[in-house]
Structure 1
Amino acid sequence: MIIVRNSNVSANGSIGAIRGLLASRMMQTAAIRAVSLITILIIWQVIGRSVDPVLFTTPVAVAKAAVTMIGSGELWTYLAPSLLVLAYGMALACIIGIAAGLLLARYWMFDVAISPLLTFLYSIPTVALVPLIVMWVGFDTGAKVVILFLFAFFPVAINTYQGVRGVDSKLLEVGQAFRCSERQLWTNIILPAALPFIMTGLRLALGRGLIGMVLADLYTAISGIGYLIVRTANTYQIDRMFVPVVLLGFLGVSLTWLLRIIEARVAPWAARKDND
Structure 2
Amino acid sequence: MSKLTNQKLQDYFFRLRSNKVFEMFVVSVIIFSALMVGAKTYELPPVLLTVTNILDWTITFIFMAEITVRFIGEPRKRDFFKNGWNVFDTLIVLVSVIPIDNSDMAVIGRLVRIFRVLRMISIIPELRTLLNSLLKALPQLGYVMLMMFIIFYIYAAIGSTFFAKVDPFLWGDISISMLTLFRVMTFEDWTDVMYDTMEVYPLSWIYYFTFICLTAFAFLNMVIGIVVSTLEEEHRLQDAERAEAEGEPTLKELQAEIQELKALIKEQHSVR
Query: Structure 2 length normalisation: TM-score?
Result: 0.29
Greater share of helix residues, 1 or 2?
Answer: 1
Q: Which has the higher contact order (CA 8 A, sep 6+)?
A: 1
Name the larger-Rg structure. Answer: 2
